[in-house]
Amino acid sequence: MGIKNSGYFPQGIAAGLNFCNRVNERKRIKENILSARPTLIMSSRRYGKTSLVLYALQELDLPYVHIDFFSELNETEIQNSILTSIGNFLYSLQPSIPHKAFKLINEFFSDMNISFSITKNALRIGFAKNSNSPAKTILNAFTKLDIFLKKKGKR
């Protein structure tokens, strides 16, 4: 006879009523996020590290994207996940006005070999072979995103 999942221990991300306690950890993570302090969270698998950080981000009510690199096989797939997430983040800044979001994303990615479309409020991004290494492409995208957000008065 197997043990049934009672719902107390979710198999995925613990959110809402499934998340409990860890008050001190959440406080420290939120302080680190607000002060842009790099934070390393370590423990064995299935101890709730991702749930803890996502819960803290939701409490802060800041825009963010969540990228899971677990299934990525190489640096190109990692690059594509990051660039797609940046596109989704930019889209989230103007979700109710798709044509403005599309224009914003177009301007942001204009100097990269990236094509994109918006269908049913979802952003689809296509990547052409890039002459830069994935690491340089990612660094350039994050640098550009930082400059863009500073111009908008955001962090």
CA 104 – CA 91 distance, rounded (Å): 8
pLDDT at 90: 86
- Report the range of poorest mean pLDDT among 11-15, 60-64, 66-70, 73-77: 11-15
Under DSSP, the state recorded for 55 is H
Structure-token match 């340089």, residue found: 136
Across-strand partners of 118?
A: 123
Q: What is the pLDDT of residues 100-115, one digit of tens each?
A: 877 888 788 878 777 7
What lies within 8 Å, CB to CB, of 71 at 6+ separation is none
This prediction has a pTM of: 0.74
Which pLDDT value is given to residue 76?
87
Residues 11-29 pLDDT 10s? 667 666 556 778 899 899 9
Q: Name the residue ranges covered by the structural domains of the chain.
A: 16-60, 75-151
Per-residue model confidence as pLDDT tens digits over 30-40: 999 999 899 99
pLDDT of residue 17: 55
